[in-house]
Chain A
């Protein structure tokens, strides 16, 4: 038996699809090509096999995902993960939040920031730069997004330059995209026992 997980956690759950994943053995050449690169270079998962129903979209999306999260320069890796978590928190994508909070913890070597984010959301008691990044990510993830020039000025005051702000925007908005796939096409389950 498996239980659907509804609370934020940094323990990465299983993802159970609502749509039948493409069978790798019978995949078309276009599907195989789109699967040749995976998000964060992880193994071919049910998630990407579900997305492989639309290989043209997947083939553009995966390099975009990896570029936004890993390309050199600009915002730090950890702060891009913080943007990803802010979106996943607003959208209650338990799976994405778990994966990216655990990556943040690993990069930073501490767990208290993510505990506070999961517990208090936008109001988490964080150092000013992290708090500004979190708040920006939460405001950008609303519908409609709530960003004004004042929000940009707040980031600049915390030392983010144009490239860093662009990187934060891309990583946060990318998870507005990822959450809308992961949280609708499947659900996180605890498969232990």
Chain B
């Protein structure tokens, strides 16, 4: 059984041409898992907690209709999953709502990003290191869910 989150969530076959292709790119799938761990469970998390990271990820993958990754991230959020892990909700907390607004916008419509999006994070008290950590989390999850989507479609044909 594959111990990588992405391949597990995509339910990739253990044998056959797709499994072989993934074996050829196994170093890249290892680095993908390392990127997941760096985004979700970093050694130096800054001010954004593990639960907040997992809840943001759960929200983004649900926006993108990925129920298998949603199960993973809801599980990762811990015993008490924040209500705002569900899309179209708010946290009613200025700092959290700023994180959520950024994650939603950059997931849904990165083309509309402006310098004001970063200003809004700063105004909510997010420091520069945490702005980069948040951007990295949002960007990674959007990569991961796209690779999972294709692997699932590839496994479903043939």
Chain A contact residues, CB within 8 Å of chain B: 18-20, 50-51, 53-54, 56-57, 59-61, 63-64, 67-68, 71, 73-74, 90-93, 140-141, 143-145, 147-149, 151-153, 161-163, 165-167, 169-170, 172-174, 176-181, 183-185, 187
Contact A144/B142 with A60-B34, A149-B153, A184-B106 known, Cβ cut-off 8 Å: no
Binds A, one of B77-85, B88-96, B111-119: B111-119
Interchain CB contact under 8 A, A151 and B153: yes
A-B contact pairs, 18 of them (CB 8 A): A50-B132, A57-B140, A91-B111, A143-B108, A143-B109, A145-B64, A147-B149, A149-B153, A163-B21, A173-B142, A173-B150, A176-B142, A177-B140, A180-B106, A181-B139, A183-B110, A183-B111, A185-B135
Per the bound structure, the CA–CA distance linking A12 and B144 in Å amounts to 28
Contact A163/B31 with A51-B136, A145-B146, A180-B139 known, Cβ cut-off 8 Å: no
Number of residues from B at the complex interface, CB < 8 A = 56
Chain B contact residues, CB within 8 Å of chain A: 17-18, 20-22, 24-25, 27-28, 31-32, 34-35, 37-39, 42-44, 63-66, 106-111, 113, 115, 117-118, 128-129, 131-133, 135-136, 138-140, 142-147, 149-151, 153-154, 156-157
Q: Quick one: which of A51, A143, A144, A183 contacts B132, CB cutoff 8 A?
A: A51
Interchain CB contact under 8 A, A56 and B42: yes
Interchain CB contact under 8 A, A93 and B143: no
Per the bound structure, the CA–CA distance linking A50 and B131 in Å amounts to 10
A152: chain B residues at CB < 8 Å are: 150, 153-154, 157
Which residue on chain A has the smallest CB distance to residue B157? A149
Q: How far is the CB of A26 from chain B (nearest CB, A)?
A: 14
Per the bound structure, the CA–CA distance linking A92 and B109 in Å amounts to 10
Per the bound structure, the CA–CA distance linking A60 and B31 in Å amounts to 6
Per the bound structure, the CA–CA distance linking A151 and B118 in Å amounts to 36
Per the bound structure, the CA–CA distance linking A56 and B39 in Å amounts to 9
Interchain CB contact under 8 A, A57 and B149: no
Per the bound structure, the CA–CA distance linking A141 and B110 in Å amounts to 10
Interchain CB contact under 8 A, A56 and B146: no
Per the bound structure, the CA–CA distance linking A145 and B32 in Å amounts to 19
A178: chain B residues at CB < 8 Å are: 139
Which residue on chain B has the smallest CB distance to residue A65? B31
Which residue on chain B has the smallest CB distance to residue A183? B113
Q: A57-B140, A147-B153, A162-B17 are in contact. List 10 more A-B contacts (CB 8 A).
A: A50-B132, A56-B42, A57-B35, A67-B27, A68-B28, A143-B109, A144-B149, A152-B154, A152-B157, A177-B142
Q: Quick one: which of A18, A57, A61, A149 contacts B115, CB cutoff 8 A?
A: A18
B22: chain A residues at CB < 8 Å are: 166
Q: How far is the CB of A21 from chain B (nearest CB, A)?
A: 10
Per the bound structure, the CA–CA distance linking A148 and B18 in Å amounts to 16
Q: Which of A63, A152, A174, A177 has the most CB of B within 10 A?
A: A177
B157: chain A residues at CB < 8 Å are: 149, 152-153
Which residue on chain A has the smallest CB distance to residue B46? A54
B111: chain A residues at CB < 8 Å are: 90-93, 183
Per the bound structure, the CA–CA distance linking A178 and B140 in Å amounts to 9
B109: chain A residues at CB < 8 Å are: 143
A74: chain B residues at CB < 8 Å are: 21, 24-25
Per the bound structure, the CA–CA distance linking A63 and B35 in Å amounts to 11
